[in-house]
Amino acid sequence: MATADTRKLIADLLAGADEDTRKVVLEVFKIERDRLYQVTPYGVKDEIAAAIKDIVR
Amino acid sequence: VILKALTVENFRQFFGQQTLTFSDHQDRNVTIVYGANGSGKTALLNAFTWALFKQTSPGFERPDDVVNHRALAEAEEGADIVARVVVVFEHENQEYTVERSAVQRIRAEGDLRVKEALSVTFVDEGGRTHNRTDHAEGTINQILPERLHRFFFFDGERIENLVKPDSYAEIEDAIKTILGLTVIERAIKHVDDARKVLEKEYSAVGSDEVKAIQTRLDAARGEKETKTEERRRALENRSANAAQLDNVNARLAELEDAADLQRKRSDLEEALAGIQTELAARRRSLSTRLSDSGFLAFAEGLVDHTASTYEDLRERGEIPTSIKLQFVEDLLERGACICGNPLHEGEVAYEKVAGWRQRAGRQDVEEAWMRLSANARAFKTRRKEFFDYVHETNRERAVLRDQEATTKDKLSAIKESIDELDSDEIQGLERRRDELKSAIDSDNLRLALAERDILELDRRIADLERELEVAGAAIAKARVAQRRVVVARESRDVFSSILNLRTEEVRRQIDSRVKQVYTQISFKPYVPSLDEAFHLDLRKTSGRDEDLSVAKSTGENQILSLAFVGAVAEHARDRYRESQAEGRTDGMLSFRGGIYPVVMDSPFGSLDENYQRQIADAIPRLAPQVIVFVSKSQGLHAVQDVLMPRVDREYVIEYATPKADQDRETIELRTGVHPYVEPVDGPYEWATVRPA
């Protein structure tokens, strides 16, 4: 678990980003976590590009 | 992860099939395997890494040569010999079985590796077996990350390499893996790749086209202004000239000699204007009618053909049909004919009625035919009306043209008469009159040209405005595309910052744990540290502010490395327990961690006795489960004196060697005396593992 300091720094970092960026960061994290154990995760960049397009319209 | 069992079959020195089971006792968490140098201790360590990751340690020579030589030698030509390793482990109450095998075929011209296979199955709490072979590597990696295997399956004599400069990158990598930072590293890379994709899309919807349309639109609007001005000037000139002409005409009408002729001329000119207006009106009307109904002129054949086809159908009785398809369908569905006879599918009556389906007409088709036929008749009437109109209008135009010619002749005659009048004023007025009429004609021409151009420009401007509207949507698209690129870039930067924050935090935590673990193992007044560049170093406090790096012996390096392994494992365990306790994953802030066993070969190497004792003391604390391979010449005393209270299971590798001058050797353990090295006849060595 992150310490309280790091948690606060990351929370501040996300709060400082604009809403679209924040949404993209959380979505990308989800995608990456789901596919972390694929040795060669093909097509992640396209999946992320699609997620960004979905968020920024 | 708790290792339950390891089975080796014809793998390296191990001939036939042999199984070891491991202690998972909380207090006696150590399993020891004794074996002479070269007997197969390193092969057993590598059996784990080969099965799980297809990896072998640097001390494992000829890594592709895994099939036991005796098994190969004793097989007949054409036979397939399988080397197999099966690792059974438990993870989150599920028992996993990982099996890797390599098949070698015996051939006269040289043995051939024919197949390698990996399978993963697990049995859940309910006793159901699940096959994960399709995702074997991913499944293993999810439980035991490959990037970490060097930290949990290692050659004790080489563990000191962990603290050498070559390993800094590996240490950083391992820390990132074990603490879940890999996911953020991948996110940085993949978001940046996605940014490139989005940048390409942005450049494809650029705005050059919009600018070009705007330029053309501005030019067309400017041209229209010029033409409008030309039209205004032509109109002004024309009305000024017309006013002057009125004056000249009025003056001529006042002069006695010309008055009569001039009045007649004015009347004729008025009549001519009327005729010309009429002619123009008929020309316009004809042109409108031709564009609306001109097609009728060419429709004669089509109309007749449609009408005659319809008549044929009608005469043959096909339109309207006596029986409608719907009527037949209704009878069949009702199951009774109008005569009362039942209609059952498969019977003659049913088939007869059903046969009417082919002949029955469809209501909608018939109606369409009737509408078409009625329209065809109307076409014929309209076609006649059209030709009547054209003929009549042309006749009227011919009459008007005759009237126009007659009137013009009369006007010419009047002009001739006026020209013959002997009056300077009249002649002067007449010349002026001619000039003005010619000026008015040219004003009219300029006016007509300007109006034609304005009309054309209006059309062009409307087209360009439409184009701009479409391109305007492209501008909005381009703005969105650009914004996506910016968001991708910012997201990547956010991930980079998160990675830096988390890496630094984890480094600090590991640093503090290494210090703690090292102090428990070593009696030296040294302090290890993991610095910002992931250099693992040992320092002693000099009494001044600055710590001094100490020159480390092999023993110190080994202790430092073990402290590091212990610190990383402990950290991963704590993270795992925390995540289990919380029962949730906390987004970017947490990693599930894991509980990993430690398997080490020759942890004591050729160290001095005091180091051996310190390491023996530290080993059980490295991980909840420890498997150690030792030889009787390396640290047997340390094992028996220090480690034994924590040992639950012991195995001895009995090594059969064909070496001629080799004496038989035994090993004396608390359980008795066991065979250790056996000289044998024949060309091959082999090994057998037996519980001690």
B423 touches chain A (CB under 8 A): no
For residue A1, what pLDDT is reported?
46
- pLDDT one-digit tens code per residue, B265-310: 999 999 999 999 999 999 999 999 998 888 887 777 777 787 788 7
How far, in Å, CA of B165 to CA of B163, rounded?
A: 7
How far lies B160's CA from each of B114, B151, B553, in Å? 38, 12, 10
The CA distance from A47 to the nearest CA of chain B, in Å, is: 8
Per DSSP, the three-state class of B408 is: helix
Which residue in B14, B22, B177 sits closest to B87, CA to CA? B22
User: Which B positions 9-48 lie with beta carbon below 8 A of chain A?
Assistant: none
Residue of A nearest to B479 (CA): A57
Instruction: Show the tokens assigned to B378.
Output: 């109307």
Cα-based angle B568, B557, B573 (whole degrees, multiple of 5) = 10
And the tokens for B258? 């010309």
Q: Place B582 in a pLDDT band, splitting at 50, 70 and 90.
A: low
Chain A residue numbers touching B142 (CB-CB < 8 A) = 36-37
SS3 content of chain A, % helix, strand, coil (to 5): 70, 0, 30
Please tell me which residue, B580 or B67, carries the higher pLDDT value: B67
> Residue A32 — pLDDT band, cuts 50, 70, 90?
confident
Q: Does residue B587 surpass a pLDDT of 60? A: no
From CA B615, how far away is CA B555, in angstroms rounded? 9
Instruction: Please say if the pLDDT value at position B57 is more than 90.
Output: no
* Burial classification of residue B27, based on how many CB atoms lie within 10 Å of its CB (0-12 exposed, 13-18 middle, 19 or more buried): exposed
Task: State how far the alpha carbon of B90 is from the alpha carbons of A50, B466, B623, in Å.
Answer: 39, 70, 15
Closest CA to B497 of B181, B199, B190: B181
Tokens 């924590």 found at: B646
In DSSP notation, B231-248 reads HHHHHHHHHHHHHHHHHH
Query: Are residues B480 and A33, on separate chains, in Cβ contact within 8 Å?
Result: no
Q: Tell me the nearest-neighbour CA distance from B94 into chain A, angstroms.
A: 19
Write the DSSP symbol of residue B584: S
Nearest C-alpha of chain A: how many angstroms from B385?
Answer: 59
Q: Exposed, middle or buried by CB within 10 Å (0-12, 13-18, 19+), for B443?
A: buried
Taking the CA of residue B151 as centre, how many other CA atoms within 13 Å lie in the half-sphere pointing to its CB?
29
Could you say which DSSP state residue B542 is in? -
Separation CA B261–CA A48 (nearest Å) = 94
pLDDT in tens, B103-158: 998 887 777 777 889 999 999 888 889 888 888 888 888 788 887 888 889 887 77
Number of A/B CB contacts below 8 angstroms equals: 110
Q: How close does chain B come to A27, measured CA to CA in Å?
A: 10
Instruction: Give SS3 for B487.
Output: helix
pLDDT tens string B74-105: 888 888 999 999 999 999 889 999 999 999 98
Banded model confidence at residue B52, pLDDT cuts 50, 70, 90: very high
- Residue B547 scores a pLDDT above 80: no
Checking if the pLDDT of B360 tops 90, the result is no
Cβ–Cβ below 8 Å for B491 and A28: yes
Query: Cβ of A29 and B497 within 8 Å?
Result: no
Surface of B (247-306) touching A: CB under 8 A: none
Q: Give the whole-angstrom CA distance, residue B591 versus residue B570.
A: 14
Check whether B509 has a pLDDT greater than 80: yes
Q: What is the pLDDT of residue B584?
A: 47
B108 touches chain A (CB under 8 A): no
pLDDT of residue B592: 60
Bridge partners (DSSP) listed for residue B672: B669
Contact between B501 and A13 using a beta-carbon 8 Å cutoff: yes
Mean pLDDT in residue range B200-209:
75
User: CB neighbours of B471 closer than 8 A, spacing ≥ 6?
Assistant: B207, B209, B210, B213
Residues of B in contact with A53 (CB under 8 A): 198, 484
pLDDT score recorded for residue B11: 95
pLDDT reading at B590 higher than 50:
no
Say yes or no for a CB contact (<8 Å) between B501 and A10.
Answer: yes
Kindly tell me if the per-residue pLDDT of B43 is higher than 90.
yes
Judge contact between B163 and B557, C-beta under 8 A: yes
DSSP string of B337-388, one letter each residue? -TTS-B--TTSHHHHHHHHHHHHSBPHHHHHHHHHHHHHHHHHHHHHHHHHH
Please give the Cα distance from B214 to B465 (Å, whole number): 9
Asked if residue B683 has a cis previous peptide bond (ω within 30° of 0), the answer is no
Contact B97, B105 (CB under 8 A): no
Q: Is the pLDDT of residue B230 over 80?
A: yes
Q: What is the mean pLDDT of residues B177-193?
A: 84
How many residues are present in chain A? 57
A31 CB neighbours in chain B (<8 A) are 190
Please provide the DSSP assignment of B50-93 as one string. HHHHS---TT--STT--B-HHHHHHSPTT-EEEEEEEEEEEETT
Strands of B397-535 (E only): list them: 526-530
Written as one letter, the residue type at B611 is: Y
Among candidates A13, A38, A56 on the partner chain, residue whose Cβ is nearest the Cβ of B483? A56
Q: Using CB atoms within 10 A of its CB, is residue B184 exposed (0-12), middle (13-18) or buried (19+)?
A: buried
Mutate to test the interface with A, among B184, B201, B494, B512 (most CBs of A within 10 A): B494
Among A21-30, B271-280, B307-316, B405-414, whose mean pLDDT is lowest?
Answer: B307-316
* B209-229 tens-digit pLDDT: 777 888 898 999 999 999 999
Alpha helices in B602-662 (DSSP H): 609-622, 636-638
pLDDT of the residue at B585? 45
Q: What pLDDT, on the 0 to 100 scale, is given for residue B434? A: 94
Helix (H, G, I), strand (E, B) or coil at B27: coil
Q: Quick one: tokens of B327?
A: 């009527």
pLDDT of B405 over the 70 cut = yes
How sure is the predictor about A42, in pLDDT bands with cuts at 50, 70 and 90? confident
Handedness of CA B184, B187, B192, B195 (dihedral sign): negative
Q: How many residues does chain B have?
A: 692
Residue from B191, B206, B193, B180 nearest A55 by CA? B191
Average pLDDT, chain B: 86
B564 vs B555, higher pLDDT: B564
Angle at CA of residue B463, ends B460 and B464, nearest 5°: 85
Residues B612 and B631: their CA atoms lie apart, in Å, by 13
Report pLDDT digits (tens) over B279-291.
Answer: 999 999 999 999 8
CA–CA distance, B3 with B89 (Å, rounded to integer): 4
The arithmetic mean of pLDDT across residues B395-413, rounded, is 95
- Taking 60 as the threshold, does the pLDDT of residue B594 lie above it? yes
Q: Is B330 left (phi over 0), alpha (psi -120 to 50) or beta?
A: alpha
Integer Cα distance of B42 and B470 in angstroms = 72
In this predicted structure, which of B167-181, B434-448, B462-476 has the lowest mean pLDDT?
A: B167-181
Question: Are A3 and B494 inside 8 Å of each other by CB?
Answer: no
